[in-house]
Structure 1
Amino acid sequence: MSCPICAKVTDPKYRPFCSRRCADVDLGRWLNGSYAVPAETPEDLEEAADALLDEQRQESHGPH
């Protein structure tokens, strides 16, 4: 397995990285937002709030 940061051979102590430096580089990328998981959310905050209210109304008016 090679280091995902620099492609050198990994060190079992820092796996999957080759060194503490590469592990820290990866952590820095997570912390500054370089890595992100895409989300499917409404573009408009007002649209999201309306959708949530509609969902809550449907739940409260369901069969009893």
Structure 2
Amino acid sequence: MTLTNRKCPVCGKPRSAEHSPFCSTRCKDRDLVRWLDDGYALPGPPAIDEDADKA
């Protein structure tokens, strides 16, 4: 699969080799803002229910 067949993960337009994997600087910046605003999250271990331990 070539770069031109793959889509930008932000807007869905064709990717640009200059801005890969995005289509433009705008989409690259939008993705960065999502990361900085905690828009993406990776699953972690389950939270410990402290109330269940007291019962």
**Coarse TM-score class (shorter-chain normalised):** 0.7 to 0.9
* Alignment partner of 2:18 out of 13, 33, 40: 13
For structure 2, the residue ranges without an aligned partner over 5 or more in a row are 1-5, 51-55
Note the C-alpha offset of 1:41. Answer: 4.7
For structure 1, the residue ranges without an aligned partner over 5 or more in a row are 46-64
* Alignment partner of 2:42 out of 20, 37, 40: 37
- Structure 1 Cα separation of the partners of residues 34 and 8 of structure 2: 15
1:26 alignment counterpart: 31
- Structure 1 Cα separation of the partners of residues 8 and 38 of structure 2: 20
1:53 alignment counterpart: none
CA RMSD of aligned residues (A): 1.5
TM-score by length of 2: 0.73
Mark the structure with the bigger radius of gyration. Answer: 1
TM-score by length of 1: 0.63
User: Identity rate of aligned residues, in percent?
Assistant: 44
Note the C-alpha offset of 1:43. Answer: 3.0
SS in 2 for 1:30: helix
- Structure 2 Cα separation of the partners of residues 33 and 44 of structure 1: 24
